[in-house]
Amino acid sequence: MAYYFEEASHTFSEYLLVPGYSDENCIPANVSLKTPLVKYKKGETPKITMNIPMVSAIMQAVSDDRMAIALAKEGGVSFIYGSQTIESQAAMVARVKSYKAGFVPSDSNVCPEDTLQDVLNLLEKTGHSTMAVTEDGTAQGRLVGVLTSRDYRVSRMSLDTKVSEVMTPFEKLVYGEEGISLSEANDLIWEHKLNALPIIDKNGCLTSFVFRKDYSDHKDNPNELLDENKSFIVGAGINTRDYEQRVPALLKAGVDVLCIDSSEGFSAWQAKTIAWIREHYGDDVKVGAGNVVDRDGFRFLAEAGADFIKVGIGGGSICITRETKGIGRGQATATIEVAKARDEYFEETGIYIPICSDGGIVYDYHITLALAMGSDFVMLGRYFSRFDESPTNKFMLNGTYVKEYWGEGSNRARNWQRYDLGGATKLSFEEGVDSYVPYAGPLKDNVNLTLSKVRSTMCNCGALTIPELQQKARLTLVSATSIVEGGAHDVIVKDKETFK
C-alpha cells in the first residue's frame, strides 16, 4: 500500500508571520542578511558566505555572465546556466572572474577599416560605447586607437565613414602597460580625466581596459561579493552526464561553486556525480545538489557529500512538472520538513548543510517566509528574468514592455540533461513553458527594494539576523478568506495613471 502523508501540502501564500517583540535596536539598518552558501563544521567559518540570501536560477533566460556580475555587486551569487557548450559556459565564468579585478577584457572591438555602420551595429549588440580599435578587430590585436561616442555624430556623418577617420589614434592615447597595478591605473584615469584606460602588452597588443565607472561601482556597492583576489564570486550549473569534461573546464575558468541542475535530486546519478568530484578534487570543490522535497531526499544528498541542497519540485512559475507527471510538494511544506532534517543532521554530525528554497516564490514576502521556515537562501528565476541584466530580449507587447522567460524543461531550452533518467538524449515531453514576464528595470533597484521589505519584516519579528529569524519566527496558516482580507478590498482602487 502506498504511503500517505497525513498533512496537506502547503504553499507560501497559505502562511503569515505573526509579529514578535521589537526592541529599540530592531531597525532595518541593523539587520544583517549574511548567510552561508556551502556547508561547514560546527565552530568553523563557511568557505563562502553571501551578503544577501539570493541566488539566480540555472536557466538560459536568467543567468549569464552579465547577471552574475550584477548580482555579485549586490552580494549574491549567480549560477551560470549549463545547457550550453562547455566552452561557452567556461568563457562566461572567465569573464565574471576577470571583471572585478578591474582589468576587463574588451568585448567591443573594431578594426580601422570598419565603418560607422559597423560601430552602430556593435553598439546595439553590446551596449558599450567605448571600443578598442585593433589591427585585426580582435580583443587581443595590436592597439591602433580607441573609439567612443564622443568621436562621432551620427546625424552629421555618413554611415560609410571609416573608423580610422574618427578614432583617437594610438599616439594620442594615454595607456597603461601590462603589469601596472589597479591603483596605478586608477591614478592615471583620474590624472588625465579619462573614462577608460587601455592596457597593452610589450608588443602593443591590447590585454584589457580599466574603467572609471568600476572605481565608482565599488564605492556604490559595499555588499559586493568578492574572493580573496577581489574578483566576483560566481557559480555554474552542471549536469549528471558530461561532468567529467565540464567540471575541469569550469574550475580552470575560475568558478567558485558548482550546482547539479536537475529537476529531481534523489537519484543515483547525483550521488555518482558528487562522488566523482570528491574523488578527483576532494572537498576543495564546492558542489550543491537537488532538488528534494522531504527528509529522505535531504539525508540522501547530505550523505552523498553535497555542500548545499536545493528544495522544491514543480513550484516554479514556468514549471509544469506537477501538471505533467503528478510529482512534487507544496513549497512551504517541503521547506519546513527539509529544514528540520538539516537541523537534525547538524545535531548528529556537527556539519551544517545550507538549504536553498527553489521555486514557489511569487511575492517578496515569500522570501522572508522561506527564510523563517529554515531556508538559508532562495533561488529565483522569474524574479531575475525581469531585469535589464537577464540575457533575454525586451520588447513591447500589447502596450507593455516584457522580457522573454522560458523553462529549462521547455522545448525551446531543450535541456534534456536536467530531466535525465538514463534514457534517450532528448526531451520525451515538456516540463516547462515558454512565456513573457513584465519588464522591471535594473537589478540593483529591484533587489534593494525587495531586501528592504525583508529587513523590515525581520524587525517586526524582533530578529536582526537570519538565524535569529528562524529561532523567533511564529507562523500561522491562513484561511482562503483571510488571504482575500490581506489585500485591498471593499474599495475602488485609484488608477495611478488617471489620478496623477
* Distance from C-alpha of 189 to C-alpha of 205, rounded to nearest angstrom: 20
Residue 389 cell numbers, joined: 541584466
Is 414 an annotated catalytic residue?
Answer: no
The active-site residue, picked from 66, 386, 418, 455, is 418
Residue 361 cell numbers, joined: 516564490
Contact 414, 361 (CB under 8 A): no
Residue 19: C-alpha distances to residues 28, 31, 334, 465, 474 (Å)? 15, 16, 23, 16, 7
Provide the 8-state DSSP code for 245: H
Longest dimension (CA), the chain: 82
Residues with Cβ < 8 Å from 94, sequence gap 6 or more? 253, 254
Is 418 an annotated catalytic residue?
Answer: yes
Question: Amino acid letter at 175?
Answer: Y
The active-site residue, picked from 111, 259, 319, 356, is 319
* Distance from C-alpha of 208 to C-alpha of 194, rounded to nearest angstrom: 15
- Kindly state the helix (H) or strand (E) to which residue 125 belongs, with its residue range: helix 116-126
Count other C-beta atoms under 10 Å from residue 428's C-beta: 10
Contact 180, 113 (CB under 8 A): no
CA dihedral 217, 354, 416, 268 (to 10 degrees): 150
Write out the catalytic residue numbers.
Answer: 319, 418
